[in-house]
Every structure is written in C-alpha cells, then in structure tokens.
Structure 1
Amino acid sequence: MPVSSGVRRRIKEFLDPDDDLQYVFPADIFGSANPSVFIAVTRKTITVLSTGHWSRTTPKRVISTTLRDQRIGPVDTATTPWFKFCGIVYELDDEYVSVVHAADAEIMRDAAKPEDPLPDL
C-alpha cells in the first residue's frame, strides 16, 4: 500500500521546506529493537526517519540525512527484499522495491550522461 498523504505531510515537516519530496517508503532496520523507518528521497537528500516503538505510520525523528548523490540499492530480492544503505541493512515489502529502483534510476541516469566532447564551445 502506498504511503498515505497524511504520512507524507508529517514527513515533510522534518525536511527542508525548500526541497521537494520525490519518493518515500517504509522499511525495517534488520535486527534492530526499533526497526521501523521511513526513507524520504528529495531533490537534495536521502533522509531516514524513525517511527518510534508504538507506531509504524508516524515519523518521530530524523535518524540520518545524506546527500542525494548516491544510490539506495541495489535491492536483493532472493528472499525478503533487502538493501544496504550507509552501512545499515534494511528490509522492505515487495511493493516498495520499484520505488527504490525508481529513485536509483534517477541517480544512474545522471551518472550515465556522456561527457561533453567539446566543453569549450
């Protein structure tokens, strides 16, 4: 099920107001006592937000923020889908694998642009 508009509004409260929320998906930190997070991808950053102990749908605080210049995946789908981002292993539901792939495709597209052969013209 997609992340609701209400959850998106709450997530935006933790982000730079001048930035645009492009992708958001829930994930679980593998082996953690406080496993549920939202990963929010904006034009500028990738932000991981904790949901706290009692709710998987209410973001409580920012755990980490990194620049948007890196991929989130790849996602291993051999068993429960998982990926490693900034040294932490996250698991996610099958339906959100395509969200990670879409976010990563934007980074890959920009990195795959050929170098300008005549930069001085």
Structure 2
Amino acid sequence: MPVSSGVRKRIAEFLDPDDEIQYVFPADIFGSTNPSVFFAVTRKTITILTTGYLSRKTPKRVISTSLRNHRIGPVDTSTVPWFKFNGVDYEIDDEYIAVVHAADAEIMRDASKPEDPLPDL
C-alpha cells in the first residue's frame, strides 16, 4: 500500500522546507526489535526517520541523513526483499522494491551522463 498523503505531510515537517519529497517507503531494520523507519528521498537528501512502537505510520525523529548522490539498493530478492544502506540491513515489502529501483535509477542516470567536452562554450 502506498504511503498516504498524511504520512508524507508528517515526514515533510522533519525535512528542509525548500526541498521536496520524491519517494517515500517504509522499511524495517533487519533482525531488530526497534521501531520501523521511513526512507524519505528528496532532491537533496535521503533521510531516515524512525517511527513509534505503537504506530508504523507516525515518524518520530530523524536518525540519519545522507546526500542524494548515494544509491539505496540494490535490493536482494532471493528471500525477503532487503538491502544494505550505510552499513545497516533493511527489510522492505515487495511493493516497495520498485520505489527503491526508481530512486536508484535517477542516481544512475545522472552518474552516467558524460562530462561536457567543451564546458567553456
């Protein structure tokens, strides 16, 4: 199920007001009893927010922020879909694999652009 507009609005309150959310998806820290997290991918950053124990839909605080030039995946789908980001293993539902791939495709597209051979023109 996609992340609701209400959850997106609550997540946006933790982010730079000049930035815009491009992708949001929930994840669980693999093998942890900690609350779930949300990944909020914006034009500038990848922000990870923790949720409360009572609700997976309420972001509580920012636990990590990375520059947008990092890939989130690849997602390993040989068992439960999971990926490693900044040294932490995260588990996601099947429906969010496409979201991770879309966010990573933007980074790969930008990274594959050739340098301008004549930048002074």
TM range (shorter): over 0.9
Q: How do 1:79-98 and structure 2 match up within 5 A?
A: 79-98=79-98
Q: What runs of 5+ residues in structure 2 fail to find an aligned partner?
A: none
* Deviations 1:43-94, CA, capped at 9 Å, x for gaps: 0000000002111111011111111111000000111100000000000000
RMSD of aligned C-alpha atoms? Answer: 0.9
- Calculate percent identity across the aligned residue pairs: 81
User: May I ask how many residue pairs the two structures share in their alignment?
Assistant: 121
SS across alignment from 2:48: strand
The letter of the residue matching 1:60 is K
Work out whether 1:73 is the aligned partner of 2:79. Answer: no
Q: How do 1:1-121 and structure 2 match up within 5 A?
A: 1-121=1-121
SS across alignment from 1:6: helix
The letter of the residue matching 1:73 is G
The letter of the residue matching 2:17 is P
After TM superposition, what 4+ stretches of structure 1 lie above 4 angstroms from structure 2?
Answer: none
* Deviations 1:81-117, CA, capped at 9 Å, x for gaps: 0000000000000000000000000100000001222
* Deviations 1:26-52, CA, capped at 9 Å, x for gaps: 000012121410000000000000002
Q: Return the TM-score normalized by structure 2.
A: 0.96
